[in-house]
């Protein structure tokens, strides 16, 4: 029995301790929950708080917003690019030109003391097929960011559910350990009474006392396991560890799901990993089209207006303007575009193989999870019957021990069998719900 209890408590320590350092600051609304009044949480409330307070979700939402701005900025290439410039130049020493006039050299100073130039220019592409294709890529970047954000939320939902179920399992273990301790106390009191009237030996009294003393530390360890599991839940929710919370619910609330005929789930149409592969494939397809369109000519238009002045004491202003069409025809670039397209095609083929391998592994995982859940159902059904039998056995043993027809060893054996059955029953429910949460993440369920 002691070995079983140690294994249960070690289990909680292993699954909870990595989360201890992951607690994050919560909003002021949740900080108000600190104090004597604990924040009572159901699973739905825990999920709601996590989706609003988790840093992971906030970063994912910001990434979507950032990518949206990048998409809007990419459309700037379609609009005219307008620039205005101006310059002033003061001649400190004019340039001197020497000319031969009738055989005599003549020096002439060239230029004006003041030179002012202002200009306005505008240019925009008229025909640029590769540019238009690149704008589609920007839209796919937003689509990818949205899917990655959805993936983060689905993963968070799974973590919160598993942490919540871990708290319920810890609470159930504490309840069982408390019952064991209470029974050990009652048995010790009965043994002590029998010992005082000479109906029980000293050895029997010592055994009852040792059993009671051994049960007490198990209760403390179970209480610590509840605390660690609660810390894990607060960490994944994004709640400060100092916030007092009280988890509402019981593992038995989920027994209906185990008793309902279970149908295997294998639909991967909403799996986030596969959807991201599909988006990447479409992005590579668009990239290849964009690279091929770089072979096509491009046409751009530009207009320029200048207003300049020069003079010494008085300035004379002279306007000028030009309009131009620029046609660029790619002829030869050393096969650079050709090899770039080939690289993109190879990358797309590699992506297709990766997707195929990922889907194969996902289907194996789904079958494994479905088998695990079916096994959990069988374990629960067996444990459920065992609990009823073990409870009756313990009650009978307690009555028989009370009247002196059973030994303390037989009573302890009945208690051990009951404890194992109760923990096995709770563990079966927990394993089913945890596996179900993982399967829901795999098939892309958002709730």
Residue 113 lies in a domain: no
Going by C-alpha positions, the residue among 230, 227, 218 that lies closest to residue 179 is 218
pLDDT given at position 369? 92
Confirm whether 273 is domain-assigned: yes
Pairing assessment for the beta strands 245-247 and 39-41 based on DSSP bridges: parallel
| Residue 301 is assigned to a structural domain of this protein | no
d(CA 50, CA 40): 14
Q: For the beta carbon of residue 9, count every other beta carbon within 10 angstroms.
A: 20
Q: Are 321 and 304 in contact (CB under 8 A)?
A: yes
Predicted TM-score (pTM) of the model is 0.78
Walking along the chain (447 residues) 10 residues at a time, the average pLDDT comes out as 46 42 39 56 90 86 89 85 93 80 76 88 90 87 92 93 94 91 88 84 87 90 93 88 87 83 77 95 94 92 92 84 93 91 95 96 93 90 88 88 80 88 92 93 85
Q: Is residue 348 assigned to a domain? A: yes
pLDDT score at 434: 94
How many CB atoms within 10 Å of residue 287?
A: 20
- Please classify residue 237 by burial: count the beta carbons closer than 10 Å to its beta carbon, then call 0-12 exposed, 13-18 middle and 19+ buried: buried
Q: What is the CATH number of the domain that holds 23?
A: 1.20.1600.10
pLDDT at 24: 38
Please tell me the distance from the alpha carbon of residue 221 to that of residue 22, in angstroms, as a whole number. Answer: 23
316: Cβ contacts below 8 Å, ≥ 6 apart: 309, 310
Specify whether the CB–CB gap between 265 and 133 falls below 8 A. Answer: no
User: Residue 16's pLDDT is what?
Assistant: 41
Number of neighbouring beta carbons within 10 Å of residue 230: 22
pLDDT of residue 259: 76
- Does residue 318 lie in a domain region? no
As for how many domains the chain has, the answer is: 1
The reported pLDDT for the residue numbered 342 is 95
Instruction: Please tell me the predicted confidence (pLDDT) of residue 266.
Output: 78
Residue 239: its pLDDT value, please?
Answer: 83
Distance CA 164, CA 447 (A): 14
Within a domain: 324: no
> Domain of 272?
2-81+128-296+333-443
Residue count of the chain: 447
- Asked if residue 71 is part of any domain, the answer here is yes
Task: Judge whether 93 lies within some domain.
Answer: no
């Amino acid at each position: 029995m002691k070995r079983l209890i140690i294994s249960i408590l070690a289990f909680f320590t292993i699954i909870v301790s990595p989360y201890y350092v992951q607690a994050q600051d919560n909003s002021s609304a949740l900080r108000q929950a600190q104090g004597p009044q604990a924040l009572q949480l159901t699973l739905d409330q825990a999920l709601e708080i996590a989706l609003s307070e988790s840093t992971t979700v906030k970063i994912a939402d910001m990434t979507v917003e950032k990518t949206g701005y990048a998409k809007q900025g990419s459309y700037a290439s379609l609009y005219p690019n307008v620039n205005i410039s101006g310059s002033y130049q003061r001649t400190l020493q004019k340039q001197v030109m020497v000319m031969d006039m009738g055989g005599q050299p003549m020096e002439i100073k060239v230029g004006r003391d003041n030179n002012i130039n202002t200009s306005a220019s505008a240019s925009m592409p008229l025909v640029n097929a590769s540019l238009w294709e690149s704008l589609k890529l920007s839209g796919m970047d937003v689509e990818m960011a949205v899917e990655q954000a959805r993936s983060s939320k689905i993963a968070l939902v799974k973590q919160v559910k598993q942490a919540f179920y871990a708290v319920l399992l810890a609470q159930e273990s504490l309840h069982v350990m408390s019952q064991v301790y209470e029974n050990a106390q009652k048995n010790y009191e009965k043994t002590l009474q029998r010992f005082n009237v000479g109906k029980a030996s000293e050895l029997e009294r010592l055994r009852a006392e040792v059993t009671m003393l051994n049960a007490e530390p198990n209760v403390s360890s179970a209480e610590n396991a509840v605390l660690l599991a609660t810390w894990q839940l607060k960490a994944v929710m994004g709640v400060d560890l100092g916030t007092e919370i009280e988890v509402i619910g019981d593992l038995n609330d989920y027994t209906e799901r185990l008793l309902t005929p279970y149908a295997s789930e294998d639909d991967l149409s909403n799996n986030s990993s596969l959807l991201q592969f599909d988006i990447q494939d479409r992005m590579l397809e668009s990239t290849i089209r964009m690279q091929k369109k770089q072979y096509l000519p491009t046409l751009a238009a530009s207009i320029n207006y200048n207003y300049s002045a020069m003079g010494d004491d008085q300035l004379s202003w002279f306007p000028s303007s030009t309009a131009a069409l620029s046609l660029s025809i790619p002829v030869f670039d050393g096969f650079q575009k050709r090899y770039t397209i080939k690289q993109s095609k190879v990358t797309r083929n590699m992506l297709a193989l990766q997707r195929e391998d990922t889907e194969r592994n996902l289907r194996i995982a789904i079958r494994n999870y479905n088998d695990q859940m079916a096994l959990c159902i069988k374990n629960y059904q067996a444990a459920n019957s065992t609990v009823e039998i073990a409870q009756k056995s313990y009650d009978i043993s307690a009555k028989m021990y009370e009247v002196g027809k059973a030994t303390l060893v037989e009573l302890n054996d009945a208690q051990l069998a009951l404890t194992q059955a109760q923990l096995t029953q709770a563990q079966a429910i927990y394993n089913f719900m945890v596996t179900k949460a993982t399967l829901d993440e795999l098939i892309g369920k958002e709730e």
